[in-house]
Amino acid sequence: MKILVIGGGGREHAIAWRLALEPGVEVWASPGNPGTARVATCLAPPSSGVDGYLQVAASVQPDLTVVGPEAPLVAGLADALQSKGFRVLGPTRKAAQLEASKIFAKQVMVEAAIPTAAYRVTQNLDQAMQCLREFSYPLVLKADGLAAGKGVVIAHDQPEAQSALRTLHSTLGPRIVIEEFLHGEEASFIVLSDGKQVIPLEASQDHKAIRDNDEGPNTGGMGAYCDGRILTPVQTAAVMDRVVRPAIDYMSANGAPFTGFLYAGLMMTPQGPKVLEFNVRLGDPETQSLLHRIQGGFSNALYAAASRELAGVELDWKTDPSVCVVMASAGYPEQPRIGDPISGVDEAETSGAVVFQAGTRVGPAGLETAGGRVLGVTASGGDLRQAIDNAYRGVASIHFDGMQFRKDIGRKGLKRW
């Protein structure tokens, strides 16, 4: 089977890596990155946007195209590929509105009776400033559109909220959602769907803040761990019954069947699961820890979902927990610095970790930083403590100037169990 993976980040490197481990699978990637190139044939799109990827697909003639990032999906890449006769895994432009618009997602949650935080939608800065009076602190501010994981601010008092509103308004647009702050344990719950049937993946937990103990500004994700104990069987059933199935059924009933990976960012509250956000693709860095735990059946599941034939398909999981530690560049998330030489990747992998590349490029002196989140150092272990130790052993082998990484990825799990 020939599979084309669209995207050039750590998530796409992990997808290509997992697919390349399966017999009979030939992996291509566009544009890929230096890490992806170690497990797949990479082709840069000849032009930007949907048309460039269509030209790549026409050249490769894949049996399946997997679209990794949200932006091409929101731009209608899945629709365009399907119109040309390609089998594609990823939601249509209409279904991708679940991530493209926080306001649309909230409307879906309300109409489908999916539990979520109380909220107000504001259309301009003055209205948003007025609505602050209706909430207690802390509260949550969300830009409506795509923001690469950086459009959410938790404000702890009114001056902080007002300052954040001005920043969001000036950088990401006037439409802002104001939400109550939910208390509980966060979890990332992802399912693979063919539009009707779903396969739930193991739950994972992301770490959004830049610094230890969830301090500092939010990022696209500084690490994640995947452990079968994050949700109990009762909690998993509740998420499926109250969140996943209502969302899938709603989208189908409203003319936008959801095919691909549906990500529900959850807060497990005393009242049960409540949805913080929907994404229309695998999370990053959750993907790295999730795919490190899959033993087999991945390519078959993706093909079946894209073919609307997911019933009866299963994934083979390892029981060992896994941990991904993101190593970010100097200045991230505000102004990432690029061009710093990276050393120690091979040594980290010799120690037992898998190093998924994201913001990297090959410069005159070799591998160097080319973005905010640079590497995702991922490892498993017999228990969570061992998985954490194995991942950080890999981190210790790597160096680039100004590198940032959290030292507490997975620690919440150690405290819980």
255 DSSP assignment: T
Extract the runs of DSSP E, i.e. beta strands, from 270-353.
Answer: 272-279, 294-296, 316-317, 322-328
Confidence of residue 396 (pLDDT cuts 50, 70, 90): very high
Domains of the chain: 2-92 (3.40.50.20), 118-180 (3.30.1490.20), 184-317 (3.30.470.20), 322-416 (3.90.600.10)
- Smallest CA-to-CA distance from 301 within 194, 189, 188, 190 is with 194
Helices (H) and strands (E) in the chain, counts: 15, 24
307-318 per-position pLDDT tens digit: 999 999 999 999
Tokens of 248: 């899938």
Which stretch of DSSP H or E encloses residue 100? helix 97-100
Rg for the chain, CA atoms, rounded: 20
- Average pLDDT estimate for 18-40: 98
Among all chains, which residue has been given the structure tokens 């010799």?
Answer: 350
- Average pLDDT estimate for 107-126: 97
Extract the runs of DSSP E, i.e. beta strands, from 150-248.
Answer: 152-155, 176-180, 185-194, 198-200, 204-206, 209-211, 215-218, 223-226
Largest interatomic CA distance in the chain: 59
Q: Which residues of 208-221 are buried (b: 16+ CB within 10 A; e: fewer)?
A: bbbeeebeeebbbb
pLDDT for the residue numbered 120: 97
Whether the predicted pLDDT of 218 surpasses 90 = no
Contact 293, 322 (CB under 8 A): yes
- CA 161, distance to chain mean position in Å, is 26
321-350 per-position pLDDT tens digit: 999 999 999 999 999 999 999 999 999 999
- Smallest CA-to-CA distance from 392 within 375, 411, 377, 376 is with 377
pLDDT for the residue numbered 319: 95
Predicted TM-score of the model (pTM) = 0.96
Whether the predicted pLDDT of 148 surpasses 80 = no
- Smallest CA-to-CA distance from 178 within 146, 115, 131, 219 is with 131
**Beta strands 88-89 and 64-67: pairing type?**
parallel
Tokens of 61: 């003639």
- Smallest CA-to-CA distance from 127 within 163, 176, 82, 191 is with 176
**Rounded distance between C-alpha atoms, residue 216 and residue 211, angstroms:** 6
Dihedral class, residue 397 (left if φ above 0, else alpha if ψ from -120 to 50, else beta): alpha
- Average pLDDT estimate for 186-190: 97
288-312 per-position pLDDT tens digit: 999 999 999 999 999 999 999 999 9
- Smallest CA-to-CA distance from 186 within 225, 152, 153, 160 is with 225
Report the C-alpha dihedral over residues 214, 218, 221, 227, rounded to 10 degrees. 40
Residue 375 main-chain phi, psi, to 5 deg: -135, 155
- Average pLDDT estimate for 191-205: 97
366 DSSP assignment: E
**Rounded distance between C-alpha atoms, residue 152 and residue 284, angstroms:** 16
Task: Give the CA distances from residue 142 to residues 34, 103, 145, 181, in Å, rounded to whole numbers and listed in that order.
Answer: 34, 9, 9, 12
**Rounded distance between C-alpha atoms, residue 290 and residue 273, angstroms:** 21
- CA 399, distance to chain mean position in Å, is 25
**Rounded distance between C-alpha atoms, residue 385 and residue 27, angstroms:** 33
Tokens of 344: 């120690």
Which three-class secondary structure state does DSSP give residue 61? coil
Confidence of residue 417 (pLDDT cuts 50, 70, 90): confident
116 DSSP assignment: B
